[in-house]
C-alpha cells in the first residue's frame, strides 16, 4: 500500500519569492507521482507528473518537481510566485499497476503582496 | 466545453433525506470516480467504475450507491443523509483504469451540506 505525507499544511510566502512544497511518499512498489492544484471553489487540475525518465519534471504555471527515490520525496518548487498561485496543492501517488491514486492532505499556499 | 461536469454545484438538505449527484464526462474516457473531500481538504476515493463496471469500492456506508448508466455518466445516490456526509464530492475520469495512474480530470465538485 502507498501513502503520501505533505509536510506543511500551510505555506505563506511573499509575492515573487521562491517556494517549495514538500511531499514524501511510501510504497513497496514502483510509483507514479503527481501534483494537483485546487483553486478556490474549483476541482483539481494536474500541475505535473512523474512517470519515468528524468527526475526533474516541469509543469504548468512555472512549477517543477524533483523525484528523489532515495529520499522518497517529490517536492514542488517555483522560483517566483504570484498572487494567483494562492491555492491548495495536493501531492498524489499511484502504483504503476494503476487502479487507485492516493492523495496527500494538501498544502495551502498563500501568496501575500 | 466542460470536460467533467457535476450537478448540482451546491446541495443543502435535511438529515434523513435522499439525494443524488450527477456526473457526466465528454472526454470519451472509460473510467470514472467519486471522491469525497472533507472539511480538512483530505481527498479520499469512494468508488471507481470502468466501462460501467464497479472496480473500486472503498469502505463507504451502503447508504451511498453509485450508478453508471453508461460509461459517460456516473451518478451518486445517498440515502438517509447524515450530518457527517457534509463534504465536497468530486467526480473524476481517466482514459482507462490504468491511466488513473497518469492523469485524472476532475469536475468542479458538489458541496453537500446536511442540516
Average confidence (pLDDT) over A3-13: 94
| First-to-last C-alpha distance (Å) of chain B | 34
Contact of A103 with A92, CB cutoff 8 Å: yes
- Let me know if A34 is exposed, middle or buried by CB neighbors in 10 A (0-12, 13-18, 19+): buried
pLDDT band for position B102 (50/70/90)?
Answer: low
- Beta pairing class for A101-103 and A87-95: antiparallel
Nearest-by-CA chain B residue for A38: B108
pLDDT of residue B20: 97
| Nearest-neighbour CA in chain B from A23: distance (Å) | 15
Contact of A111 with A14, CB cutoff 8 Å: yes
Q: Do A97 and B45 touch (CB under 8 A)?
A: no
Q: Do A105 and B40 touch (CB under 8 A)?
A: yes
Please choose, from the candidates A25, A35, A33, A76, the residue with its C-alpha nearest in 3D space to the C-alpha of residue A51. A33
Which residues are CB-neighbours of A27 under 8 A, at least 6 positions away? A1, A2, A3, A72, A93, A95
How many Å separate Cα A29 from the centre of its chain?
Answer: 20
Question: What rounded mean pLDDT belongs to chain B?
Answer: 90
Q: Give the three cell numbers for residue B1.
A: 466545453
Q: In chain B, what residues touch A101 (CB-CB under 8 Å)?
A: 45, 100-101, 104
pLDDT of residue A51: 87
pLDDT of residue A40: 86
pLDDT band for position B101 (50/70/90)?
Answer: low
pLDDT band for position B107 (50/70/90)?
Answer: very high
Q: Give the three cell numbers for residue B42.
A: 483530505
| Nearest-neighbour CA in chain A from B17: distance (Å) | 25
Average confidence (pLDDT) over A62-76: 95
- In this model, does residue B87 exceed pLDDT 90? yes
pLDDT band for position B100 (50/70/90)?
Answer: low
Amino acid at each position: 500500500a502507498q501513502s503520501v505525507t505533505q509536510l506543511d499544511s500551510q505555506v505563506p510566502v511573499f509575492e515573487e519569492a521562491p517556494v517549495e512544497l514538500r511531499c514524501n511518499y511510501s510504497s513497496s512498489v514502483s510509483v507514479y507521482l503527481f501534483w494537483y492544484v485546487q483553486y478556490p471553489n474549483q476541482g483539481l487540475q494536474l500541475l505535473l507528473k512523474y512517470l519515468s525518465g528524468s527526475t526533474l519534471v516541469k509543469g504548468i504555471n512555472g512549477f517543477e518537481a524533483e523525484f528523489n527515490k532515495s529520499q522518497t520525496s517529490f517536492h514542488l518548487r517555483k522560483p517566483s510566485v504570484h498572487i494567483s498561485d494562492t491555492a491548495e496543492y495536493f501531492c498524489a501517488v499511484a502504483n504503476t499497476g494503476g487502479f487507485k491514486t492516493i492523495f496527500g492532505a494538501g498544502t495551502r499556499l498563500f501568496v501575500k503582496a | 466545453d466542460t470536460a467533467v461536469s457535476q450537478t448540482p454545484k451546491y446541495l443543502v438538505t435535511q438529515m434523513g433525506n435522499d439525494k443524488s449527484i450527477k456526473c457526466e464526462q465528454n472526454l470519451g474516457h472509460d473510467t470514472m470516480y467519486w471522491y469525497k473531500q472533507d472539511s480538512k481538504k483530505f481527498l479520499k476515493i469512494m468508488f471507481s467504475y470502468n466501462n460501467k463496471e464497479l472496480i473500486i469500492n472503498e469502505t463507504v456506508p451502503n447508504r451511498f450507491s453509485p450508478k453508471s448508466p453508461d460509461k459517460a455518466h456516473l451518478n451518486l445516490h445517498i440515502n438517509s443523509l447524515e450530518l457527517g456526509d457534509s463534504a465536497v464530492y468530486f467526480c473524476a475520469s481517466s482514459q482507462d483504469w490504468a491511466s488513473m495512474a497518469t492523469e485524472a480530470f476532475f469536475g468542479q465538485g458538489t458541496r453537500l451540506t446536511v442540516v
